[in-house]
Amino acid sequence: MQGAKPGTQPYNKNGVSLIFEKTNKGQELLRKIDTSNFVIGDAEIDVALRHNRMFEISRAKTLSHDSFGADFKEHGLHYACLHSSGYKAYRKAAWKNMIKRVFRL
């Protein structure tokens, strides 16, 4: 399976996301995306799906998936992100890196 190739417009070394838009609300949301940071374009659906392994092989739910969903519904996205296990692991790694830089370990 291959995706976008280096040197082509949709290529991004960090990956390419695929968004399916099929409603007026979806069109409206896509128009609001900052195109100075994102490349947005049309793609043939069969080609896009053929080269998008996550469409076929969906990621398994993480252990914190349900708690994130509950926090999101009750408190909103900002709260859910700050209280997620992924964010906590990120902050822990960031602190470790900062301490290493300060003490040059």
Same domain, 31 and 79: no
Whether 49 and 71 map to the same domain: the answer is no
Q: Quickly list DSSP for 28-89.
A: HHHHTS-TTT-------HHHHHHT-HHHHSPPPPPTTHHHHHHHHHHH-HHHHHHTSHHHHH
**Do 54 and 71 belong together in one domain?**
no
Task: Please check whether residues 98 and 72 belong to one and the same domain.
Answer: yes
Do 4 and 55 sit in the same domain of this protein?
yes
Same domain for 5 and 51, yes or no, is yes
Which residues, 6 or more positions from 87, have their beta carbon under 8 angstroms from its beta carbon? Answer: 81
Question: Cα separation of 39 and 7, whole Å?
Answer: 14
What total of structural domains would you count in the chain? 2
Q: pLDDT tens digits, the chain, 105 residues: what are they?
A: 455 677 776 677 776 677 888 899 888 888 888 888 777 778 788 877 776 777 767 767 777 888 888 999 999 888 888 888 778 888 888 888 888 888 876
Residues sharing a CB contact under 8 Å with residue 9, sequence separation 6 or more, in sequence order: 39, 41
What is the separation, in whole angstroms, between the first and last Cα of the chain? 41
Which pLDDT score is estimated for 105?
60
